[in-house]
Amino acid sequence: MRIVDLKCALIGKNPIVRIVADQGLSGYGEAESYKPYLKPYVLQFREALIGEDPTDVERCMLKIRQRGAFKPYGAAVSIIEHALWDVAGKAAGVPVYKLLGGKVRDRVRTYNGSLRVPMGGTTPERYAADCKRMMALPEGFDIVKQGIAFHSAMKREFDGFFYGTPSLSPFHGAMDSGVITERGMNHMIDCVAAMKEVLGDRVGLALDCGPGWLPSDALRFARAVEKYNLLWLEDMLTGDYVPWINADVYRDLTIATSTPIHTGEQIYLRQNFKELIERRAVDVVGPDPADVGGIAELKWIAEYAHLHGITIAPHGTGNGLLGLGALVNVCATLPSNYIAFEYPSGTDPWWYEIVEGLPKPIVNNGLIDVIDRPGMGVDLIPEAAKRYLKEEDKAFFD
Ligand SMILES: [Mg+2]
């Protein structure tokens, strides 16, 4: 089998790659809705891959992997990897999880990442009300995550939250950073108490926190919330779009508190998890299969983390419905250090009409049934998806 073309189109807000193989097979990969600019980065790999056998996934990856980078630029390589696996699964007539070694679970746990509404404020009451709303969702999530501190509007809305000026730029990334005031710290602890009051011990709570904390604040907060048994504190020091890790500083934090510390959604490749894992610098890693270099890359990291007593909760909130298929396939194969992946949904209601293969309903009691279809399981329906293509992408399915 040979690759005869590689195409990329923006469908809604998500960049989609299509690998066209001879013998009439196509494979798809989907990037985050936050990366509408990705198309040229995907297309630069076209020439390198034409003529290769798409079912030799690793051989194809060896040609392109060195051209990726930390978020957002690992995504192009990552979604091509998903598309290669999709072709390989379809060619073999088996779900992709079979090619990764087979599933170890029939249902995969997911936590609420994408089913959100504006909270209308960052007071303890608003956080509590939002937790109540999440608990009532028909998906029955038993883990929810909330943004606080620099990963929320709190940095702007709570007067005197930190000794700095919050940026209003959408490209805030790691720009918002500074020492948190005592008032700001007390406010966050009040918010956690209010959320736990609602969630009790029935629904686990994780917090996405930054990045941007100074280490002493991070430690003070992690210790202050120890009694609430949070599932994890995510990206306090680095993370999100920060193009470095600082594993030694993470280690100082992690060994000084019983609250689990989490990072990794921006990290590209297994090599860049090496220090975090070998030094046991965090308790939980959170690679995104659409940023880290692909699903096989994520599985390798999960296995290596398992050897070191570290758990894994993959990122994925913006990955869309094809991205959901990729997450389900790889997470079905992970060892017992797997907690849950961050649930992505369709950014527009019509997304659910242009794909096939999704379970109905998708999530039950926080779990998704492993999809038993060849390839990645969730597939585009070209006739239905065509009408959402932009003029320049009209030939995407040809
Ligand atoms: Mg995050």
Give the length of the chain: 398
Ligand 1 geometric centre to CA of 342 (Å): 9
For 279, counting Cβ atoms within 10 Å of its Cβ (0-12 exposed, 13-18 middle, 19+ buried), the class is: middle
pLDDT at position 17 is 98
Do residues 74 and 293 touch, judged by C-beta distance below 8 A? yes
Distances (CA, A) of 340 to 99, 137, 216, 264, 265: 21, 17, 29, 15, 14
pLDDT interval class at 133 (50, 70, 90): very high
In 125-165 the beta strands, taken as DSSP E runs, fall at 143-147
Rounded to the nearest angstrom, the distance between the alpha carbon of 10 and the centre of ligand 1 is: 24
- Whether 280 shows a pLDDT value over 60: the answer reads yes
Residue 12: pLDDT above 90?
yes
Question: How many whole angstroms from 315 Cα to the centroid of ligand 1?
Answer: 7
Q: pLDDT, tens digit, for every residue of 211-241?
A: 999 999 999 999 999 999 999 999 999 999 9
Q: Which CATH number applies to 99-376: 3.30.420.40, 3.90.1710.10, 3.20.20.120, 1.10.4160.10?
A: 3.20.20.120
Predicted confidence band at 168 (pLDDT cuts at 50, 70, 90)? confident
Ranges of each domain in the chain? 3-93+381-393, 99-376
Average pLDDT, the chain: 97
Rounded distance from Cα 129 to ligand 1 centre (Å): 21
- Report CA(45)–ligand 1 centroid distance (Å): 28
Q: How far is CA 145 from the centre of its chain?
A: 13
Distance 385 CA to ligand 1 centre (A): 30
CATH (residue range 3-93+381-393): 3.30.390.10
CA distance 339 to 287: 13
The residues, ordered by sequence, that sit 6+ positions from 140 with a Cβ below 8 Å of its Cβ are 363, 364, 365, 366
Q: For residue 317, what pLDDT is reported?
A: 97
**Residue range 299-307: mean pLDDT, rounded:** 98
What is the CA(192)–ligand 1 centre distance, in A? 17
Predicted confidence at residue 174, as pLDDT, reads 55
